[in-house]
Amino acid sequence: MRIDKISFKNINSLQGEHAVDFSVDPLKNAGIFAIIGPTGSGKSTLLDVITLALYNQVPRISAKSISDTVVEATGSILTRNTDDAYATIEYTTRTGSYISTWSIRRNRNGKLVSPHMDLVDKKDGKALDLKKSQVPGENERLIGLSYDQFVKSIILSQGEFAKFLKADKNDRGKLLEKITGTGIYRQIGAAVYERFKEMEKDIEGKASKSELIELLTVEEIKEIHTQIEEAKKSITKIDESLTKIAENKKIKELIVENTNQRKEIEQQNSRLKQLEISLVQNLKNLDNYVNPRENKLQSNRRNWIELKRAKEGVEIFLNE
């Protein structure tokens, strides 16, 4: 995030409208600069303007959000004897440039109206479709820092800074961690160290075990490779033998199948022979039945012919 410009009106002791443009000289190319001045000159007010415009909060008020009741109760933020105030910040991130504004005013009855916030995308100049309560969250998303993270990273209030300067040399580190919230890094460092010790112990244990391992010589390694190659050849021969056995098994199965079929055919032939013998016998029996009748029929036929001839001879005799 880069702050391009802040502008405000009637914030704390700085009455009227004011602006600080960081995008033009001399601040543009100033690099590091200091905000200095006597107590009450408005140094902290500039920081209040930034956090008001972004998060609707200020470090000097513990409220999670600034409301009309907070302003009225604390007598802070809005300059005394004024009716309205605003705080605006223009900033740039990797996603673009934006203008965030916080404002408050009195109504006709002299009562404060709840603060209003809006967020504008400078690219098209249009306000984002957000409720005023959603603006701080969207600023947090765009900047990548929550209010607490933002405050701890750029702001050191006057009271805490005074404690830091007056603290004993041995206590400054702890106090600085408390002020900036970097104590978590000490915890991370301790956890990393513990993890390192565990890994170191594990490595030492593995190293001691590796000393018990007997390393092979080059000749022994070659001998092992030779045995592996011979084993591969034996496996190949076994595979070939298994293939032949499988083929022989198939042939044997075919032979058994053919034998069974032959037996079945022989049984069928035997049944046919028996049938043939039975038919021949039946034919003989039929001949024995038919032939005597045929002979008798022929004899009767001859007798009939002779009888007919005799009758014809009698008739000729009578006619004469």
Residue 204 pLDDT greater than 70, yes or no? yes
Interval 185-193 mean pLDDT = 76
Burial 241-263 (b: 16+ CB within 10 A, else e): eeeeeeeeeeeeeeeeeeeeeee
Separation of alpha carbons 47 and 147, rounded Å: 13
Residues 6+ apart with CB under 8 A from 64: 57
The answer, yes or no, to whether residue 155 has pLDDT greater than 80, is no
**CA–CA distances in Å: residue 99 to residues 16, 24, 151:** 20, 17, 19
Instruction: Return the structure tokens found at 86.
Output: 């605003």
Nearest to 147 by CA among 51, 43, 252, 258: 51
Q: Map out the domains of the chain as residue ranges.
A: 2-144
Measuring CA to CA, which residue among 98, 93, 101, 137 is closest to residue 118? 101
Q: How confident is the model at residue 98 (pLDDT cuts 50, 70, 90)?
A: very high
- Mean pLDDT over the full length of the chain: 80
Higher pLDDT, 119 or 206: 119
Question: At residue 171, does pLDDT exceed 90?
Answer: no
The pLDDT value given to residue 289? 61
Structure tokens at 192: 């990393």
Strand ranges (E), 122-214: 126-127
Q: Show the tokens assigned to 164.
A: 């830091």
pLDDT confidence of residue 288: 67
pLDDT at 7: 95
For the question of whether the overall pTM of this predicted structure is more than 0.75, the answer is no
- Give pLDDT, residue 28: 83
Question: Per the CATH hierarchy, to which homologous superfamily does domain 2-144 belong?
Answer: P-loop containing nucleotide triphosphate hydrolases (3.40.50.300)
For residues 236-248, give the mean pLDDT: 82
> How much is the pLDDT for 202?
82
